[in-house]
């Protein structure tokens, strides 16, 4: 069955949209893979050296450095049951790979697309995610709501998947139109695609690539600079000597054949007799001269300048680009200052990717309740809860483990963090599995302590211990009052709320200022 004219036109529009940006995306991929052929080499490079492969990895570095700062750590869902269902649909390790692929592809080309559908029979996972780059996929967005109303996954130019509300349609090219090969209902009134978009804006709703035109120009300029440096190195290593006052016969062997230049240079002893003037009888000695040796420092200086321009374009510190400006060890404060722009870019990218991450969870939930398998339709309550979820990210800042541990310890002492809680442990750059294990262990340990206290509270020894603890607290209370600490502060500090009352008595060791004391006496 052929598609109707309206849907057929929609497919043609999306195929044309992929084709319009395909060449540009291919060029960016060549830059990232280091396979772009250098153009506009210039006259300063000999023809024989123009085919020398020179690769500068700055485009890939621009993507990888930011990608390493964008580490998803799940969604903050209110319902633990719903979170368990999503974990059962796609294991965490599989979801980590899917999101990593999507983020990397979005940084390289602007958008990437995660298409979600129920897995075929026999698959170990009930939900399947397909990550597609901008070279093989696209979406049509509503200009007002920015909601996808159609999406296309291009397997090849004769076989595509069309994603529409309520249905996924498999199509094959037949003559001048597209023939429907199969349909699969999704059971939800939205398109089950999650666009991961980097740098989305009003003018560019599908984002921009990290490999910008200025970055490509700087990369070409750096490659040309390195090629010129290689050429200079060849001239630098070649002999820079010449003779004045020598005869051609001095460079011939006994048979009159020219002596190869390298053979003469590598000889153990290089001698040349003085030439006698036939007219005057004077002898003239040949003079050996040396050309000034060339240096590559101008090329190195130009490369440092280009690295600084790339740093300004991408927000990456120059030492990430292989250019060291300072030989002294870098302090933690200097590292933090040099990464300010990069951290701001990463935080902005997190905001841009949050929409795609929430959509991915929503589509996963929809595929989990697949109507074709007789499952119930996903509830509106679950949809609202997923839409209200807050995507979590790892802190993009550079912090050592010791520095982060000290920060958490200080917050625990200040009672801003609860010791041993899940939220506190998540601040320590631990894996999610370790956080959950330690949280469970801490809860179990706290439960054992509470149970032991309840069971042993009636014992004589425990009663004595409690009395000793209370006595120590009261002694500390007296010391604090004599030191001038207020009653309310000591009650809160020693945990005596509701156990003691303020009698109004003032410790005798405290003295008021003379003026206040006189007022008190007069009263």
SS3 labels along 52-69: CCCCCCHHHHHHHHHHHH
Whether 412 and 490 map to the same domain: the answer is no
d(CA 318, CA 9): 48
What are the phi and psi torsion angles at 499 (to 5°)?
Answer: -105, -25
Average pLDDT, the chain: 80
Q: Give the single-character DSSP code of 78.
A: S
Structural domain for 451, as ranges: 401-456
| 116 and 364 Cβ atoms separated by less than 8 Å | yes
Same domain membership, residue 492 and residue 425: no
Query: Distance between CA atoms of 462 and 489, rounded to whole angstroms?
Result: 28
360 neighbors 377 (Cβ within 8 angstroms): no
Cα(28)–Cα(209) distance, rounded to whole angstroms? 9
CA neighbours within 13 Å on the CB side: how many for 455? 6
Q: What is the CA radius of gyration of the chain?
A: 38
The residue among 94 and 152 whose pLDDT is bigger is 152
Count the Cβ atoms, other than its own, within 10 Å of residue 142.
Answer: 10
354 and 472: one domain?
no
Most confident of the following: 212-226, 409-423, 443-457? 212-226
Q: What whole-number distance in Å separates Cα of residue 118 and Cα of residue 186? A: 9
As given in the structure block, the two tokens for residue 288 are 């050996």
Residue 289 is assigned to a structural domain of this protein:
no
In the three-class reduction of DSSP (H, G, I as helix; E, B as strand; rest coil), residue 41 is classed as coil
Domain contains 110: yes
Domain contains 67 = yes
Assigned domain for 298 exists: no
**432 and 511, same domain (yes or no):** no
Q: Say what the pLDDT of residue 269 is.
A: 45
If asked whether residues 82 and 152 sit together in one domain, one would say yes
Summarised one tens digit per residue, pLDDT across range 401-437 is 777 788 888 888 888 888 888 788 777 777 777 777 8
Is 76 found in the same domain as 124?
yes
Please tell me which residue, 49 or 89, carries the higher pLDDT value. 89
Could you give the number of structural domains in the chain? 3
The answer to the question of residue 315 being in a domain is no
Pick the most confident of 27-41, 190-204, 360-374, 494-508.
190-204
> Are the C-beta atoms of 198 and 208 separated by less than 8 Å?
yes
Is the CB of residue 207 less than 8 Å from the CB of residue 110? yes
Asked if the model's pLDDT at residue 460 lies above 70, the reply is no
The sign of the dihedral angle between the CA atoms of 335, 336, 337, 340 is positive
Looking at the structure, do residues 368 and 472 belong to the same domain, yes or no? no
Helix (H) or strand (E) holding 89: helix 80-89
pLDDT given at position 48? 64
Residue 276 backbone phi and psi in degrees, to 5: -95, 135
Assess if residue 42 is contained within a domain.
yes
Q: What is the pLDDT of residue 292?
A: 67
Are 511 and 369 part of one and the same domain?
A: no
pLDDT at 353 over 80: yes
Is the pLDDT at 74 greater than 70? The verdict is yes
Residue 302: burial class (beta carbons within 10 Å; 0-12, 13-18, 19+): middle
Residue 284 lies in a domain: no
Q: Considering the domain boundaries, does residue 467 fall inside one?
A: yes
Percent of the chain with pLDDT over 90: 32
Q: Which residue has the tokens 């396979």?
A: 35
């Amino acid at each position: 069955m052929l598609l109707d004219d309206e849907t057929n036109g929609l497919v043609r529009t999306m195929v044309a949209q992929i084709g319009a940006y395909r060449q540009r995306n291919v060029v960016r991929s060549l830059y990232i893979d280091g396979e772009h052929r250098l153009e506009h080499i210039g006259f300063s490079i000999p023809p024989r050296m123009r085919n020398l492969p020179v690769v500068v990895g700055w485009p890939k570095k621009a993507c990888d450095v930011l990608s390493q700062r964008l580490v998803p750590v799940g969604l903050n869902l209110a319902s633990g049951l719903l979170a368990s269902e999503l974990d059962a649909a796609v294991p965490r390790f599989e979801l980590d790979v899917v999101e990593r692929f999507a983020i990397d592809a979005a940084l390289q080309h602007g958008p990437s697309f995660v298409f979600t559908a129920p897995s075929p029979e026999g698959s170990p996972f009930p939900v399947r995610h397909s990550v597609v780059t901008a070279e093989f996929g696209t979406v049509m967005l509503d200009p007002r709501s920015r909601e996808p109303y159609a999406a296309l996954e291009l397997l090849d130019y004769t076989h595509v998947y069309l994603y529409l509300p309520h249905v996924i349609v498999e199509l094959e090219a037949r003559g001048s139109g597209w023939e429907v090969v199969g349909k699969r209902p999704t059971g939800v009134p939205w398109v089950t695609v999650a666009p991961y978009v980097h740098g989305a804006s009003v003018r560019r709703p599908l984002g921009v690539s990290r490999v910008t035109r200025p970055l490509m120009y700087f990369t070409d300029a750096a490659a040309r600079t390195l090629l010129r440096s290689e050429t200079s190195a060849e001239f630098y290593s070649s002999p820079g000597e010449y003779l004045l006052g020598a005869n051609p016969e001095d460079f011939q062997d006994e048979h009159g054949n020219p002596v190869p230049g390298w053979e003469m240079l590598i000889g153990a002893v290089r001698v040349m007799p003085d030439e006698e003037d036939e007219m005057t009888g004077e002898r003239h000695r040949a003079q050996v001269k040396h050309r000034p040796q060339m240096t590559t420092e101008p090329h190195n200086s130009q490369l440092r300048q280009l690295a600084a321009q790339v740093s300004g374009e991408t927000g990456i510190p120059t030492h990430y680009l292989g250019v060291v400006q300072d030989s002294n060890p870098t302090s933690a404060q200097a590292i933090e200052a040099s990464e300010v722009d990069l951290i701001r870019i990463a935080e902005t990218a997190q905001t841009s990717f949050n929409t795609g991450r929430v959509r991915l969870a929503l589509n996963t939930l929809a595929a989990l309740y697949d109507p074709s398998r007789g499952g119930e339709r996903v509830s509106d309550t679950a949809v609202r809860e997923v839409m209200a979820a807050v995507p979590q990210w790892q802190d993009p800042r550079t912090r050592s483990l010791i520095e982060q541990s000290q920060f958490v310890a200080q917050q625990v002492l200040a009672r801003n963090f609860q010791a041993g809680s899940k939220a506190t442990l998540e601040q320590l750059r631990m894996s999610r599995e370790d956080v959950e294990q330690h949280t469970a262990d801490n809860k179990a340990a706290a439960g054992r302590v509470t149970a032991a206290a309840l069971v042993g509270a009636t014992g004589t020894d425990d009663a004595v211990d409690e009395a000793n603890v209370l006595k120590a607290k009261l002694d500390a209370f007296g010391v604090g009052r004599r030191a001038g600490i207020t009653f309310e502060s000591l009650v809160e500090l020693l945990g005596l709320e509701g156990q003691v009352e303020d009698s109004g008595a003032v410790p005798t060791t405290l003295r008021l200022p003379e003026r206040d004391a006189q007022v008190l006496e007069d009263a």
